[in-house]
Structure formats: C-alpha cells, structure tokens
C-alpha cells in the first residue's frame, strides 16, 4: 500500500491575496457588464471573461491550498457584491453573486479532491462542474421570465465557458510553473 503524504502549501501572502481578490473582482465586474451585451441569439460577451475567475481560483488552490482559495473566494464575493450592486442591475447583481459563490466553492472542493492526479485533470473537471452550476444559477435568476432568449444564451454561455476552460489549461500550466517556489541550493 502506497501512502500519500498530504500536500504542503505555500503560505498565502498579503500580496497574493490582494492580487487574487482584485482579479476576481475585476472578472466579476467585467462579466456583469458584458453579459448585458448579446453577440447574437445564443451568446453574450460575458461568456468570454467569466472563466478567468476559475483560472484564478484554481491557481490559488494549487499553490496555496483550498483554505486560501476559499478565503479568496469569500473576499472576492464581498468585492463582487459591492461592485455588482453599484454598477449592474439589481437582478443581475443578485444572480451574479449567488452564482459566483456557489460555483467558486464547488470549484475549490472538486479541484482539491482531484489535485493529486494529472496536472490538467483537477482544473478541467472543477471548471466543468462549477461552470455548469454557475450558468444554471446565474441565467435562471438573471433572465428567467423577462422575454429574452435566456435559455439559448445560457447554452451558448456554458459552451463558451467549457471551451475557455480547455483553452485556459495552457495559461494555468504556464502560470503554475512560473509561480512555483524556487528551490534553494543547499
């Protein structure tokens, strides 16, 4: 029987926390604005920016662990609430905040359970699960019953999020390698 030691995570620095929270806030704010602009009958511009929130979460989770990732998610949620209610419609703000925290916490949990597999497995499975939950919550709260083609927008949104999840594997790998702690020569 092979014993696997628990992962050792780097401590979450104030700089990393601040950068991650600001990145989360910027992604949510940008997405809340862009979701109001359809490209066609099945897609809005917000679908392209929102998957970056999962990239931030997955990078923090891999480097600093699930506890740090949850801290970033909750601080990011607080910032998203402030920005969303200030700059988006109330309905979009409620939908965005509800979907954001549920999806982020699911992403963190799934990623953590799969972290010991291949480098790409945890981020792609976590992003797939959380993007599906995020899409379901957001679109059903934000646009149900308003006479807009929200179901086709939700389907297009999910397809783009899943595609972006695959495309963001390259940046995930590159940023993960770049952020790895340097080993000191003894």
CB atoms within 10 A of CB 131: 26
Residues 6 or more apart in contact with residue 59 via CB below 8 angstroms: 20, 172, 175, 176, 179
| Residues in CB range of 65: below 8 A, 6 or more apart | 7, 9, 112
How do the pLDDT tens digits run along the chain, 186 residues long?
Answer: 556 667 788 899 999 999 999 998 889 888 888 888 888 878 889 889 989 999 999 999 999 999 999 999 999 889 888 887 887 788 888 998 899 999 999 999 999 999 999 999 999 999 999 999 999 999 999 988 888 888 988 999 999 999 999 999 999 999 887 765 544 444
The reply to whether 129 falls in a domain is yes
For residues 12 and 64, the answer to whether their CB atoms sit within 8 Å is yes
Residue 3: inside a domain, yes or no? no
Structural domain contains residue 72: yes
Closest residue by Cα to residue 50 from 126, 143, 164: 164
**DSSP secondary structure of 141-184:** HHTTTSSS-HHHHHHHHHHHHHHHHHHTHHHHHHHHHHHSPPPP
Is the residue at 9 inside a domain? no
Would 139 be classed as within a structural domain?
Answer: yes
SS3 of 107, please? helix
Report the distance separating Cα 28 and Cα 22, nearest Å. Answer: 10
Q: Count structural domains, the chain.
A: 1
Answer whether residue 148 is part of any domain.
yes
Supply 104's token pair.
């982020």
Model pTM score: 0.86
Residue for token pair 């109001």: 36
- Which CATH number goes with the domain that contains 39? 1.10.1760.20
Query: 110, 84, 109, 112: which is closest to 98 by C-alpha?
Result: 84
Please give the DSSP secondary-structure letter assigned to residue 50: T
For residue 128, what are the domain limits?
Answer: 15-177
Residue 113 lies in a domain: yes
Q: What is the pLDDT of residue 160?
A: 94
Contact 89, 30 (CB under 8 A): no
């Amino acid at each position: 029987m092979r014993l696997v030691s628990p992962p050792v995570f780097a401590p979450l620095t104030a700089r990393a926390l601040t950068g991650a929270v600001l990145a989360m806030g910027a992604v949510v704010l940008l997405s809340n604005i862009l979701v109001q602009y359809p490209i066609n009958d099945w897609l809005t511009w917000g679908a392209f920016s929102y998957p970056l929130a999962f990239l931030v979460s997955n990078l923090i989770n891999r480097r600093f662990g699930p506890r740090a990732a949850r801290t970033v998610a909750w601080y990011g949620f607080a910032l998203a609430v402030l920005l969303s209610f200030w700059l988006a419609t109330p309905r979009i703000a409620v939908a965005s905040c509800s979907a954001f925290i549920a999806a982020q916490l699911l992403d963190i949990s799934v990623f953590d359970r799969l972290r010991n597999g291949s480098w790409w497995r945890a981020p792609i499975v976590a992003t797939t699960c959380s993007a599906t939950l995020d899409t379901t919550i957001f679109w059903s709260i934000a646009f149900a019953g308003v006479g807009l083609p929200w179901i086709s927008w939700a389907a297009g949104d999910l397809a783009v999020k899943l595609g972006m999840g695959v495309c963001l594997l390259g940046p995930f790998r590159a940023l993960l390698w770049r952020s790895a702690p340097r080993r000191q020569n003894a």
